[in-house]
Structure 1
Amino acid sequence: MDRLDMNLLVALDALLETNSVTLAAERMQTSVPAMSRTLARLRQVLGDPLLVRSGRALVPTPRALELRHQVHGLVEQGRGLLTPRPQFDAGTLRRGFVVRAGDEVRPELTGPLLAAVRREAPGVTLNLVAGSEDDPRALRDGRTDLQAGVIERSDPETVLRRLYGDRLIGVAAADHPLVTEPVTVAAYAAAAHLSVSRQGRVRGAIDDRLALHGRTRRVIGTVPDLTTALLAVRGGTAVCPAPASAVTSLLGPLGLRAFEIPLPLPEVPIGLAWHPRHTADEGHRWLRDLLERLLRAQRAPEARPRRLLRAENRVTVAKAITGAAHDAERIA
């Protein structure tokens, strides 16, 4: 056949189910002559008479009996594909998802997310994994269903939904001078700093801003994740930067305090990313919407306007804007 007519399968199914041209015509809501012409066409296509007369009735040939169940299965499968789905109910979902969550969101997100999934979709299992450099490929290859946090690199095949911009704050032990005394650029630069970087980067946007003031900071070490950094500064004299939303509920229990970094720093963009093949999937959409709702709920309140305390802290707006334009990588 040069052209495939799928209607022939439906007609063949009706003929083989009823063994009658008249009954098949009624099922197909067409005329008996039209169904007779369809049977003639099927005989030509398949090279078999399919139904032959035996007295007053038609009986199937061996070839027809061989095809009967296969044709019926194909027709039912097609009907299932084209039938509108019932309204989605997360409570009936039985599925596992791999969510790659960054340090910027994971500490505050994990508890509420697991509780919400348990409440709304008890048949769903979540596998939360830490972010890594192969995030775009993991989404494309199907090893990750959804990524949440700071999306440092985007893939042309990836859908990215930006949720909000977080801000960096300083974190230190409760008795640290930057917590108990006014924070100046000079005092901040003079402190011992701990950098958070999976790649072990020491320099970042903070160093670029300090350079505008002619100052440098002393980074005493790097750690791969925010949790390690918070535990490290808890008992020492070092300070570290952290996205405000990521540490809102952790500072008190850990005996830590936050302070405003006296520099105009670029925001930390928080978002979701996934592969387009999941966009129309109802289960995936439910999880995306749930994550978005929880992430927006954990967003830290906007900071009060930063006041630079001394003349040495003032930096021209032009310099700040110029510096911000060069911040393409994550803040260390």
Structure 2
Amino acid sequence: MRFNKLDLNLLVALDALFRLRSVSRAAEQLHMSQSALSSSLARLREYFDDELLVQVGRQMELTPRAELLREAVRDVLVRVDTTITAMPSFDATQSDREFRIFVSDFTMAVLMPHFLALAQEQGSTVRFHLMPQTRQPQRTLEQGDGDLLVVPHDYCSPDHPDEKLFEEEFCCVVWDQSRIARNGLTMESYAEAGHVVMQPPGMDRSFEHRFMQETGIARKVEVNTYSFLAAAYLVLGTERIATVHRRLALQVSRGLPLKILPLPMPMTRMTQSMQWHKYRTQDPGLLWLRGLLKQAVQRMDAAINAADSMHR
């Protein structure tokens, strides 16, 4: 098919070249020979009257014209893909579809077990690929690499719809044999103590880390970790503090010698949201997926409330 004398099949090749910046890797992904893809690139260069990709050292770089084209090409392909693959209905008990969901290990630990249990109880035959969050979560949607993001609302893209899942507050966890566990936590002792801080892989700052920086609260960071879940474990046997999600603290404290303490200062609650591509709002499969996540939140909170009552 051609549009303005451009073979639209070439856009698939162009998108792969833009993403992978390698003729050999793009050819492998598209199941083409390198010579065939090189021929496609030559035709694209002729059509756009631009090199598009140029060799710089050992890798290929996009030209300024290619940078302008990159997002537009991806947008066109995502729109075509969602239109063609959209099914008029969805039956989770008959489908072999795989949903790609980007989540943090906090969400993985507190919400996803309930979600997966519900899916199994409903007789679902779909598959789930739980993927780590990226530096720019919105790009995941733009590029069609994920079906759903579960992220703090502050990290959602303004260009795509999102829906609130739940609110989360934060607390501190300390080793239950520490001085802080015995003496309690004040703003002074919070500032003086060593801290375990989670630095999300691929992202600049976690929600709580950004709050601390923006409100001018200085902490003596002694340990950085890439896992929310690990932060609670890393205070064991030490005088350190980890500032963590309350739901996560309640969950891990059931099996660890930890004491949960309230923060010595007020902290903004985090709104955890789910977000999907604007072209897929009416996708029956995603409607089912989003509904199941909301049901999982209800089950999660019932379990957390029971644990909280025992803790209190």
The residue aligned with 1:119 is 121
The residue aligned with 2:108 is 106
Amino acid at match of 1:298: M
- Aligned to 1:271, the other structure's residue is in SS state strand
- Aligned to 1:164, the other structure's residue is in SS state strand
The residue aligned with 1:47 is none
What's the offset of the Cα at 1:220? 0.9
What's the offset of the Cα at 1:146? 0.6
Q: Which of 269, 273, 293 is the aligned partner of 1:291?
A: 293
Deviations 1:16-71 (A, max 9, x none): xxxxxxxxxxxxxxxxxxxxxxxxxxxxxxxxxxxxxxxxxxxxxxxxxxxxxxxx
What's the offset of the Cα at 1:149? 3.2
Percent identity, please: 20
Amino acid at match of 1:237: E
The residue aligned with 1:175 is 177
> Does residue 130 in structure 1 map to residue 138 in structure 2?
no
- Aligned to 1:128, the other structure's residue is in SS state strand
The residue aligned with 2:27 is none
Q: Given that residues 100 and 128 in structure 1 are in contact (C-alpha distance below 8 angstroms), is that contact kept between their aligned partners in structure 2?
A: yes
> Does residue 262 in structure 1 map to residue 264 in structure 2?
yes
- Aligned to 1:187, the other structure's residue is in SS state helix
The residue aligned with 1:218 is 220
The residue aligned with 1:250 is 252
* Number of corresponding residues: 217
Q: Which of 214, 234, 237 is the aligned partner of 2:236?
A: 234
Amino acid at match of 1:205: F
- Aligned to 1:104, the other structure's residue is in SS state helix
What's the offset of the Cα at 1:296? 4.1
Amino acid at match of 2:283: D
Q: Given that residues 174 and 236 in structure 2 are in contact (C-alpha distance below 8 angstroms), is that contact kept between their aligned partners in structure 1?
A: yes
The residue aligned with 2:211 is 205
Write the distance in 2 (CA, Å) between the matches of 1:278 and 1:296.
25
- Residues 194, 285 of structure 1: CA spacing in aligned structure 2 closer, same or farther, 3 A cutoff? same
The residue aligned with 1:194 is 196
The residue aligned with 2:71 is none
Q: Given that residues 171 and 239 in structure 1 are in contact (C-alpha distance below 8 angstroms), is that contact kept between their aligned partners in structure 2?
A: yes
Q: Given that residues 106 and 246 in structure 1 are in contact (C-alpha distance below 8 angstroms), is that contact kept between their aligned partners in structure 2?
A: no
What's the offset of the Cα at 1:161? 0.9
The residue aligned with 1:141 is 143
What's the offset of the Cα at 1:178? 2.6
Q: Given that residues 166 and 297 in structure 2 are in contact (C-alpha distance below 8 angstroms), is that contact kept between their aligned partners in structure 1?
A: no
- Residues 239, 263 of structure 1: CA spacing in aligned structure 2 closer, same or farther, 3 A cutoff? same
Q: TM-score, normalised by structure 1?
A: 0.58
- Residues 208, 145 of structure 1: CA spacing in aligned structure 2 closer, same or farther, 3 A cutoff? closer
Unaligned runs of 5+ in 2: 1-83
- 149-158 or 264-273, larger mean C-alpha shift: 149-158
- Aligned to 1:180, the other structure's residue is in SS state helix
Amino acid at match of 2:212: I
Write the distance in 2 (CA, Å) between the matches of 1:154 and 1:209.
21
Q: Given that residues 114 and 299 in structure 2 are in contact (C-alpha distance below 8 angstroms), is that contact kept between their aligned partners in structure 1?
A: no
What's the offset of the Cα at 1:276? 1.8
What's the offset of the Cα at 1:85? 5.3
What's the offset of the Cα at 1:290? 0.8
Q: Given that residues 109 and 248 in structure 2 are in contact (C-alpha distance below 8 angstroms), is that contact kept between their aligned partners in structure 1?
A: yes
Q: Given that residues 180 and 239 in structure 2 are in contact (C-alpha distance below 8 angstroms), is that contact kept between their aligned partners in structure 1?
A: no
Write the distance in 2 (CA, Å) between the matches of 1:141 and 1:123.
26
Amino acid at match of 1:240: A
Which protein is bigger by CA-based radius of gyration?
1
The residue aligned with 1:311 is none
Q: Which of 241, 261, 284 is the aligned partner of 1:282?
A: 284
